[in-house]
Structure 1
């Protein structure tokens, strides 16, 4: 993706944590006809057998996109975070409005998982998302036989990480007066994303000693 230098997020650990925190992603592959195919799905960042981190997810078997996995053509996973409109009325000078946002793009080649590998992945994934449930379920509580039967309807995959690009477009190009005013305006909005962007902006300006 196009990311101006001011807005690049180069720290790999920060990118990894962003993927963990924003795991509902968009998986994009290219069909034989050259037309992109995309599916929204949870994708997990997990260590592989060699200790290197990889992406792991699964598609419905009824979704023909799974047939494009396991090829030499790289796939793209897009992880999106908070975003918010930035009004030019918040500046002390004439300028155009813009949009602040957080995003990570990951490219890599995919491989399909075996049934046993898929079952192990589902255990991890269910445990992750059930941890805050009032009455958490697990693969064991559903019985392994039942889960293996349901697994016939999915195809699980891994993606080796060839490249990661992070965009943190957070008004870094503004002077401190305008930067702080943007934060104040965002915090006044009754909008979760706007407040998250304001919090991230405030933390980054403090971290940079400004």
Structure 2
């Protein structure tokens, strides 16, 4: 069986999300890694009346051997989204990264304030998972998020009867990725002087988000200069 690497995955960019050219994230590996690292996403589907329904949930990225990229997750059956999985209407998943307000007072010229951020949007069709697929998903999700726990639990530490009883209250799904777009708005359009001034001001704040945006700005500016 041939193994398909991340950089061989097809990525189609469509005009569904407004991203100026110099802020587009076109690197396949970066897009996939971003979704792995920011797995708590916003999932949106449209009901029969054309009303968008959204929910936040952890979503697992899976890349099959044939190169198919999937998003897998589960929600409560009481959630309005539960009845919409498996329809032909495309689903939208939004993955958000660090973001920060950029004051125009930081520039050496007159300009307007803005916002720096990173995000990825994914579109695709959904399918409802079987009970065995759902159990496998729960196992991998619990193992992933319990790694930092002092006393990690696992599906195996619970009785199968208990787990299957709990499964009756949820529905699991997979979303086959058809298109994905990335945005990395990090002041790439600023000259070195103003770029450095923005980074400096972000680092003077006492919030983690601003520091993470500054880290990304520096990393990408350094990478482009090599």
| Separation in 2, partners of 1:131, 1:143 | 20
Structure 2 SS opposite 1:160: strand
Q: Which runs of 5+ in 1 are unaligned?
A: none
Alignment match, 1:204: 220
CA shift for structure 1 position 78? 0.3
1:183 is matched with 199
Aligned length: 210
SS, match of residue 208 in structure 1? helix
Question: Which residue, 35, 44, 56 being the options, matches 1:19?
Answer: 35
Aligned counterpart, 2:80: 64
Q: CA deviation at 1:66?
A: 1.3
Give the one of 10, 18, 21 matched to 1:2. Answer: 18
TM-score (normalised: structure 1): 0.98
Once the two structures are TM-superposed, the CA of residue 191 in structure 1 deviates from its matched residue by: 0.6
Q: Does 2:109 match 1:132? A: no
Preserved contact between residue 90 and residue 123 of structure 2 (Cα < 8 Å):
yes
Q: Answer whether contact 2:53 2:80 (CA < 8 A) is retained.
A: no
Deviations 1:10-39 (A, max 9, x none): 011100000000000000000111110000
Question: 3-state SS of the aligned residue for 2:225?
Answer: coil
Runs (4+) of structure 1 exceeding 3 A deviation are: 48-51
SS at 1:71's partner residue? coil
Q: Distance in 2 between matches of 1:73 and 1:50?
A: 24
RMSD: 1.0
Structure 1 residue 53 displacement after superposition: 2.1
Q: What is the Cα deviation at residue 145 of structure 1?
A: 1.7
Residue 11 (structure 2) aligns with:
none
Instruction: Measure how far apart 1:51 and its partner are.
Output: 4.9
CA distance in 1: counterparts of 2:113 and 2:64, whole angstroms: 43
List runs of 5+ in structure 2 lacking aligned partners.
1-16
1:149 matched to 2:165? The reply is yes
Describe the shift of the 1:18–1:163 C-alpha distance in structure 2 as closer, same or farther (beyond 3 A).
Answer: same
Q: Cα–Cα, structure 1 residues 49 and 142, in superposed 2: closer, same or farther, change >3 Å?
A: farther
Secondary structure of residue in 2 paired with 1:194: helix
The Cα of 1:64 is off from its aligned counterpart by 2.1
Quote the Cα distance in structure 1 between the aligned partners of 2:89 and 2:82.
13
**Rounded Cα–Cα distance in structure 2 between residues aligned with 1:4 and 1:33:** 32
